[in-house]
């Protein structure tokens, strides 16, 4: 990390400024105590290592002051939780609705946050008019039109797109799951979607996103890995793999970091895209964040909501803020794992 860059941070103690000046002047860190300035929010701390720290956002909650207060303070990336899905953006053929997604994107831009696009092709939250198509030419045309229309709407404003979501089957097969896309277009629908996405917005990173691909030895992980390897070998455009990371109380599997580095070694970025952990154990959160920090191409982490009451798994209290918007113990564990020091334990300058 460039010490000059660190100097730009708020709450920089004078001793740190001096230490950094010594570093710059001498070009060596030898004998200089670790007085690295620590950021006090998740986004700022993640940014110190060039990463983002994001959250899922629901347009319907943007009127809640507690919610937007935390959103603006802590995060530097947002993912629309439902507003960019097919049922929201194209509920009937050729008729697009971008109101709620626009609200999220415009709000994020105003707050200086980056946006992940989620998601273009997914078997779920898919309107019935799509899932009932049986003709391959029709479905291919409909899929390509959906991808180009939604991507063009937000062109230049999305850092990463989940082009295809959850295409692999659970269980031991390692194959694609049955869906209208696989069943009517064949396995090639994923390649088709990525090629269309690349030609629509060449600047956006194109991700394949899935759950239960965190444990390296799982057949589903292996299936996704083989697909990415094949895409890279054949020049099919793909830039990133999103690992959703919806974890049980134990947190990530022991092999999680191995999985991240193995995908990264194929020449793609990896991102943790929908993190939540039943009961939010600080250790489980810290282990997850550390795995990402240990992999250079793990470029960012998104938690799937702000307060426990905002979560799709609210009964499991899986997030970093309680329903009153207070930081939970897992919050400090995450900040620490990102390289920061929680305010309560900050050293005096």
Q: Which of 166, 191, 214, 316 is catalytic?
A: 166
Tell me the closest approach of the beta carbon of residue 137 to ligand XIL, in angstroms: 28
With CB under 6 A as the contact rule, the residue among 244, 287, 299, 317 that binds ligand XIL is 244
Tell me the closest approach of the beta carbon of residue 304 to ligand XIL, in angstroms: 6
81 binds ligand XIL (CB under 6 A): yes
Rounded distance between C-alpha atoms, residue 211 and residue 218, angstroms: 11
Q: What are the residues whose beta carbons fall under 8 Å from the beta carbon of 247, sequence distance 6 or more?
A: 214, 275, 276, 277, 278, 284, 288
Q: What are the residues whose beta carbons fall under 8 Å from the beta carbon of 42, sequence distance 6 or more?
A: 53, 74, 75, 320, 331, 334, 335, 338
The residue whose Cβ lies closest to ligand XIL is: 312
| Greatest pairwise CA separation for the chain in angstroms | 70
Tell me the closest approach of the beta carbon of residue 271 to ligand XIL, in angstroms: 13
Task: Please work out the total of residues on this chain that contact ligand XIL, with binding judged by CB under 6 A.
Answer: 6
**Closer residue to ligand XIL in complex, CB, 145/313:** 313
Per-residue binding string, ligand XIL, 265-304, x by CB under 6 A, is ---------x------------------------------
**Closer residue to ligand XIL in complex, CB, 41/79:** 79
Size of the chain in residues = 349
Tell me the closest approach of the beta carbon of residue 246 to ligand XIL, in angstroms: 6
76 token code pair: 């530097």
* Cβ(30)–Cβ(59) below 8 Å: no
CA angle 262, 205, 304 (to 5 degrees): 75
What is the dihedral angle through the alpha carbons of 146, 152, 153, 159, rounded to the nearest 10 degrees? 110
Tell me the closest approach of the beta carbon of residue 202 to ligand XIL, in angstroms: 24
Instruction: Output DSSP code: residue 227.
Output: H
**Closer residue to ligand XIL in complex, CB, 123/182:** 123
**Closer residue to ligand XIL in complex, CB, 89/244:** 244
Buried b (16+ CB within 10 A) or exposed e, 171-200: eeebebbebbbbebbeeebbbbbbbbbbeb
Catalytic annotation present for 274: yes
With CB under 6 A as the contact rule, the residue among 68, 82, 262, 314 that binds ligand XIL is 82
52 token code pair: 């983002």
Q: Is 43 exposed, middle or buried (0-12, 13-18, 19+ CB in 10 A)?
A: buried
Rg (C-alpha) for the chain, rounded Å, is: 21
126 binds ligand XIL (CB under 6 A): no
Residues 158-187 close enough to bind ligand XIL by CB under 6 A? 165
With CB under 6 A as the contact rule, the residue among 64, 96, 312, 323 that binds ligand XIL is 312
Residues 92-121 close enough to bind ligand XIL by CB under 6 A? none
Residues found near ligand XIL in the complex (CB under 6 A): 81-82, 165, 244, 274, 312
| Residues with catalytic function | 166, 274
């Amino acid at each position: 990390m460039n010490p000059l860059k660190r100097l730009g941070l708020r709450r920089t103690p004078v001793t740190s400024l001096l230490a950094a000046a010594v570093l710059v002047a001498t070009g060596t860190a030898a004998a200089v105590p670790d007085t690295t300035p620590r950021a006090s929010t998740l986004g700022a701390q993640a940014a110190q290592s060039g990463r983002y720290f994001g959250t899922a956002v629901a347009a319907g909650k943007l009127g809640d002051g507690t919610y937007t207060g935390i959103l603006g303070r802590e995060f530097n990336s947002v993912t629309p939780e439902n507003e960019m899905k097919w049922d929201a953006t194209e509920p009937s053929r050729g008729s697009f609705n971008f109101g709620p997604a626009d609200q999220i994107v415009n709000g994020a831009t105003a707050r200086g946050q980056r946006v992940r696009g989620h998601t273009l092709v997914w078997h779920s939250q898919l309107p019935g008019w799509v899932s009932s198509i049986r003709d391959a030419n029709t479905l291919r045309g409909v899929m390509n039109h959906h991808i180009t229309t939604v991507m063009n709407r937000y062109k230049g404003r999305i850092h990463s797109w989940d082009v295809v979501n959850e295409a692999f089957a659970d269980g031991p097969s390692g194959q694609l799951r049955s869906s209208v896309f696989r069943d009517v277009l064949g396995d090639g629908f994923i390649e088709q979607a990525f090629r269309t996405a690349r030609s629509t917005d060449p600047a956006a990173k194109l991700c394949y996103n899935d759950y239960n691909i965190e444990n390296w030895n799982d057949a589903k992980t292996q299936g996704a890995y083989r697909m990415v390897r094949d895409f890279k070998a054949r020049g099919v455009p793909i830039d990133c793999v999103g690992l959703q990371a919806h974890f049980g109380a134990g947190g990530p599997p022991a092999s999680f970091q191995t999985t991240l580095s193995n995908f990264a070694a194929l020449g793609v970025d990896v991102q943790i895209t929908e993190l939540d952990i039943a009961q939010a154990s600080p250790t489980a959160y810290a282990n997850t964040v550390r795995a990402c920090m240990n992999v250079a191409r793990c470029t960012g982490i998104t938690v799937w909501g702000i307060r426990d009451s905002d979560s799709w798994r609210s009964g499991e209290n899986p997030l970093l803020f309680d329903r009153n918007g207070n930081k939970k113990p897992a919050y400090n564990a995450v900040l620490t794992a990102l390289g920061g020091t929680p305010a309560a334990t900050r050293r005096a300058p």
